Amino acid sequence: MAETGTEARLRWLEIPIELPESGRSETFELDGIPLLLCNADGRPFVVRDECPHVQTSMQGGTIQGTILECPLHGGQLDLRDGTPVAMPIRRPATCYPVRERSEGAGLEIGLPARAVEGPDRRRPTTGPAVAEGERQGRRHRAFESGPEKAEDAREERK
Ligand code: FES
């Protein structure tokens, strides 16, 4: 059967870890993307392992039904589509489709073709915006590091 729409734009990759026990989650990484494999009452879900609240790992969070509770501040999201359920999470998490492997045991994750083709081109790695960020970073370091370091930073800018 031919794949259509979103399915056709996905690349299915083997998940390199086993499904954890029910109610548990485990981290892994594919193509530089931090991911969290969750077992919600026997059903596997994968979400980007970056809490939408402050971009920290959600490993160790509790899972009840399809709701994952972040271990840091207790925000909750629905693993089915990443919808925020409880504060302080306000933005949706990124979820990825999961299926049984077509050959052999284990699971596969569907990553967008863009995610496996190379680095995210929406973020510049050079250019005026990056140069400005680096200037701001030096200024910030000067405030954080005490008077001697601030003097070093001033010398650096000359
Ligand atoms: S870091 Fe997840 S709720 Fe705050």
State residue 103's pLDDT score: 82
How do residues 74-94 score in pLDDT, each as one tens digit?
999 999 999 999 999 999 999
Provide the percentage of residues in the chain whose pLDDT is more than 70. Answer: 66
- Verify whether ligand 1 is closer than 6 Å to residue 61 (CB atom): no
Beta strands in the chain (DSSP E): 10-14, 25-30, 33-40, 43-48, 62-64, 67-69, 76-78, 84-86, 95-96, 98-100, 107-112
Task: Quote the CA–CA distance of 20 and 37 in Å, as a whole number.
Answer: 8
State residue 136's pLDDT score: 43
The atom number, within ligand 1, closest to the CA of 70 reads: 2
Provide the percentage of residues in the chain whose pLDDT is more than 90. Answer: 61
- Verify whether ligand 1 is closer than 6 Å to residue 93 (CB atom): no
Would you place residue 35 in the very low, low, confident or very high pLDDT band (cuts 50, 70, 90)?
Answer: very high
SS3 assignment, position 137: helix
Which of 25, 53, 62 is the best mutation target for the ligand 1 pocket, counting ligand atoms within 8 Å of the beta carbon and taking the most?
A: 53
Say how many Å lie between the CA of residue 84 and the centre of ligand 1. Answer: 11
Contact 17, 28 (CB under 8 A): yes
- Verify whether ligand 1 is closer than 6 Å to residue 73 (CB atom): yes
- Verify whether ligand 1 is closer than 6 Å to residue 54 (CB atom): yes
State residue 36's pLDDT score: 98
Q: Is the pLDDT of residue 129 over 80?
A: no
- Element (DSSP H or E) covering residue 154: helix 146-157
How do residues 89-119 score in pLDDT, each as one tens digit?
999 999 999 999 988 889 999 998 865 544 4
The atom number, within ligand 1, closest to the CA of 89 reads: 3
What integer is the mean pLDDT of 4-11?
A: 70
Q: Is the pLDDT of residue 140 over 50?
A: no
Q: Which residue has the higher pLDDT, 32 or 134?
A: 32
Residue ranges of the domains in the chain?
5-117, 128-157
Model confidence, pTM: 0.70
User: Which CATH number among 2.102.10.10, 2.40.30.10, 3.30.70.380, 3.30.70.20 corresponds to the domain 5-117?
Assistant: 2.102.10.10
- Verify whether ligand 1 is closer than 6 Å to residue 13 (CB atom): no
